[in-house]
Structure 1
């Protein structure tokens, strides 16, 4: 009778990391055998491969009461490299270097491409204003009337700057990163208000909802294709930024935002790829709607009190991320203040297993690096005291 011997490749590989030749050889063997390997005693040393995004999620619970961190970090890191925002968002080499520097320098549990909510609108034909220290902005809506919606053509992914994002992902993923790499993209409703005037859209949610849905179908179609391309390249998930949904009532959020996010999630999310839904608006009354999307992670901004308004409404099997103020804390705060606010947020949410500390939105370019380091020092010190 044959006996099956179960080898703990995870433990062996972790112990061999101090000897790179042995480590690389053993990793190659496990790859050939199609072993699913998840290694690392600390998230700086995690290697994700195969179908282990579920395990990546589970490890958040297993690690409790210690915490992982996943701030939206790209822009401030550019100062280390000597580049500005406009340069990175138009050059995949700089974007690649930025993500690699984040993984090299900080103990992040995951990393995502830059949050740039103009990329997709540009693909539809919008003109974009670029600045050296601020995220790009759409100059004006693409169309001026509901009747123009029928003339909007759904662009192919990769014609303009989505190509740069995809090239960045491809390059980073070829480096076999030891943490999951996520793409980032705008949500369907937030994209729609860049293509058509926001005030007109808000009025027509009531007066001509079928026209708004016609526009949303086009944004949905493009974003689904974009997400599929990220997944094809090997990204482990996508962060969908849908801040404009914070302007909606729960009923309208269900109809004009969450239903479309759910369709994206249903098409993309599996054991290999997860969806992070980000909304930095006033989401106190929208938690149920966000949960209904099926996204495995919900990311909240600093407009809400996570303990008072949010986390108790979220099922424990869904991860909650957030929500230190990216401007008033990270960018404008003093080092000691940032350290203390990070500790305070961790303490406030200490009873919840499904929490990962993060910034409330993308951290601005002008944020001092010592402020970023204070955040990570606080997380490290908090964990070491447990």
Structure 2
């Protein structure tokens, strides 16, 4: 099986020959080619070069094209602050003083903002590596996009005007579905809906406000022939049943979640689960051997790996050493701690920066 066939098989809850590996390397891709994040996300040529470096060094079964949750917000009038080592941040909110729901004619389209760049790079990456690597298009989840547009007032709106929030979330879900369709048309195989701010909702609030719009997104992506996933960072074990009920093929969780417990929840809903290598304590500050050992132990902790995707639960930090980013690929190809693949027993691998 090719790497992408291994990921596809897992997403169908079959039993491929090994666990797939999905590093969510957004701006971190730029670190591999000495490209600052602000240049990476505005220069298609440099972005493609960096993504090819991720593919070559990290041997992923699936890889993200970008992990930039400001793309849609920028198209819709939010101002951004740019940074050399992390994604741009949103600092203005066009609906902060205007409690309106934009009409559908304003939804981001293929010619808006930086979307032409992302769609072009997706198509070019598909041509270069899409025969053996699954491409993952990342879109901003409805609650996070609504917060970009409305600002902090969105949280009081949940209580003061729930109908407005539902209408705004419906609009933001349509944005996610439109961009997901565009990315799929350009060559993405999987659409990951990343909604990190949803971790601040209670399970009941999540179900009341986010289940209908997210279900619309995932039903639409499935109808378009695309795999889908939902990612919410933080301690989401209490939210996990509600996340699964939105209907994605997979949910992605971070290091705050006990992976075997989370998998047992996802299994009840016939949903795959991706996770959950620690980002800062392990990938950023650990050693390659520590990453390898942790990954092997994580795999050993899940006896039934049906539906399991080894992944970073969120965007890899810019400064992660490439040797650390490459170690999980070695671990999944060995399979468990009972068959160690110590770095000391292999010839050293060099990771030249381009």
Q: TM-score, normalised by structure 1?
A: 0.80
After TM superposition, list the pairs within 5 Å mapping 1:36-55 onto structure 2. 40=1, 43=3, 55=9
Per the alignment, residue 239 of structure 2 pairs with: 286
Counterpart in 1 of 2:201? 248
Matched, 1:173 2:162: no
Tell me what 1:339 maps to: 292
**Consecutive unaligned residues in structure 1, runs of 5 or more:** 1-39
Preserved contact between residue 78 and residue 92 of structure 2 (Cα < 8 Å): yes
- Match among 150, 157, 163 for residue 196 of structure 1: 150
Change (3 A) 1:262 1:110: same
CA distance in 1, matches of 2:102, 2:109: 20
Q: C-alpha separation between the residues in 2 aligned to 1:271 and 1:165? A: 20
For residues 297-321 of structure 1, give each alpha carbon's deviation from its aligned partner in whole angstroms, at most 9, with x where no partner exists.
111111211223x111112632110
Shift of 1:171: 1.3
SS of aligned partner of 2:252: strand
CA–CA separation in structure 1 for the residues paired with 2:317 and 2:213? 29
Equivalent residue of 1:147, what SS? Answer: coil
When Rg is computed on C-alpha atoms for both structures, the one with the higher figure is 1
Q: Please point out which of 94, 100, 109 is paired with 2:46.
A: 94
Distance 1:344 1:125, change over 3 A: same
Equivalent pair of 1:124/1:153 in contact (CA under 8 Å): no
CA distance in 2, matches of 1:381, 1:339: 10
Corresponding position of 1:21: none
Any idea what the Cα deviations from partners look like across 1:333-357, whole Å, max 9, x if unmatched? 2233222211221111123422111
Partner of residue 317, structure 2: 364
The alignment status of 1:126 with 2:78, answered yes or no, reads yes
Worse-superposed segment, 232-241 or 289-298: 232-241
- The list of structure 1 runs, each at least 4 consecutive aligned residues, that deviate by more than 6 angstroms after superposition, is none
The 5-angstrom pairing of residues 103-142 of structure 1 reads 103-142=55-94
Per the TM alignment, residue 54 of structure 1 is displaced from its structure 2 partner at its CA by 5.6
Which position in structure 2 is the counterpart of 1:354? 307
Structure 2 equivalent of residue 16 of structure 1: none
Deviations along 1:178-202, whole A, 9 cap, x unmatched? Answer: 121121111011111111123x211
Whole-Å separation in 2 of the counterparts to 1:315 and 1:347: 17
| Distance verdict in 2 for CA 1:227–1:120, change over 3 Å | same
Moved more, 131-140 or 105-114: 105-114
**Whole-Å Cα distance in 2 between the matches of residues 231 and 376 of structure 1?**
26
For residues 62-73 of structure 1, what are the structure 2 equivalents within 5 Å?
62-63=15-16, 66-73=18-25
The count of aligned residue pairs is: 336
| DSSP 3-state at the match of 1:232 | helix
C-alpha RMSD of matched pairs (Å): 2.4
Q: CA deviation at 1:104?
A: 2.5
- Measured after TM superposition, the shift of residue 284 of structure 1 is 1.1
Could you tell me the TM-score, scaled by structure 2's length?
0.87
The match for 2:228 among 275, 297, 301 is 275
Equivalent residue number for residue 379 of structure 1: 332
2:33 to 41, 64, 81: 81
2:142–2:173 CA contact under 8 A, matched in 1: yes
For 1:356, what is the secondary structure of its paired residue?
Answer: strand
Post-superposition offset of 1:126: 0.5
Q: Secondary structure at the match of 1:134?
A: coil
In 1, Cα distance between the equivalents of 2:188 and 2:211?
Answer: 23
- Counterpart of 1:25 in structure 2 is none
Higher relative contact order (Cα pairs below 8 Å, separated by 6+ residues): 2
